[in-house]
Amino acid sequence: MIEASVIASPILGVVFCLLHVIVSLVHAWSHLVHQIQCLIISSGLLSKYQNINLNRLRHLAVVIDSEDAKNKSKVHQLLCWLSDIGVKYVILYDIEGVMKKSDKAYEKSSANPSETKCMDFAPNMPLIFDMFGMTVEIISYTDGKEAVAKGANYLCSNYLKNQDDTLNKLGPKFTEPDISSALKAVGHDGPEPDLLLVYGPARCHLGFPAWRLRYTEIVHMGPLTSMKLSAVVKVLYDFSKKHQNYGK
């Protein structure tokens, strides 16, 4: 039995590696096809990508891996592209709050600093400012579950204040609009993004506030270091053609 497992383990290991080589080859092929598509889009040959209808895109979110987010010039470049395309509201998220600490860098590197108005950095609160005519909101992990707990405490204090109310004798009863109002009262009432772009090694939202993700289309863009304008254009175009049933 021991001899069988000694023989079997390396064989299993080799087959395992082979399977992953196949997966890598498929990814390489997809990447190549994507690069060709981006090349065609950036050449301007396809007119459909020139004038994208952004009526349905009211709010765009971008989740960036915190290591990638330290590259301030890349983040700034991305914001410039989004502004040029016509996006009006961008939510930037990274799990560790790197971008919250860097907000002053975006102000200084803006072509016209007077176009950028910044609030002071507060680690547990969203940061909102205007940049190139576009509203930018910067959030991090603490704006997710902890914000919901803050909202719960707000509802709790209101509930306890109304202890004499007959309805409250049945126990607390909250609705989803109550939760939304509570989040607004505690300063965490940001809009739900229609589209979320993920820059990083994996398609994962990394703790983006759950309350704001209900019907958000989530697209993986790859590492921030290899971001392309044409890739962003393609995603926005595909989004403009999307149709949602909302459960119907």
- Closest separation in Å from C-beta 170 to other proteins: 10
Give the integer Cα–Cα distance in Å for 131 and 108. Answer: 11
Helix (H) or strand (E) holding 129: strand 127-131
Q: Extract the tokens encoding 171.
A: 């126990």
- Closest separation in Å from C-beta 9 to other proteins: 8
Contact range with other proteins by CB under 8 A, out of 56-64, 68-76, 115-123, 197-205: 197-205
By CB neighbour count within 10 A (0-12 exposed, 13-18 middle, 19+ buried), where does 59 fall? buried
Helix 176-185 to helix 145-161 angle (10° resolution) is 100
- Closest separation in Å from C-beta 65 to other proteins: 8
Q: Is 169 in the site for other proteins (CB under 8 A)?
A: no
Instruction: Compare residues 126 and 209 and give the one whose CB is closer to other proteins.
Output: 209
CB 97 within 8 A of CB 142: yes
Q: Single out the residue of 24, 44, 33, 64 nearest to residue 221, CA to CA.
A: 64
Tokens 């301030």 locate to 72
Q: Is 5 in the site for other proteins (CB under 8 A)?
A: no
Per-residue binder mask for other proteins (CB under 8 A), 206-225, x = binder: xx--xx-xxxxxxx------
Of 141, 232, 233, 236, which lies in the binding site for other proteins, with binding defined by CB under 8 A?
A: 141
Q: Is 33 in the site for other proteins (CB under 8 A)?
A: no
Contact range with other proteins by CB under 8 A, out of 19-27, 41-49, 84-92, 111-119: 19-27
- Give Cβ neighbours of residue 232 (< 8 Å, ≥ 6 apart): 78, 81, 82, 85, 197, 221
Q: Extract the tokens encoding 126.
A: 């969203």
Write out the residues near other proteins by the rule CB under 8 A: 8, 12-13, 15-16, 19-20, 23, 95-96, 141, 144-146, 148-149, 151-153, 155-156, 159, 171-176, 178-179, 200-207, 210-211, 213-219, 244, 246-248
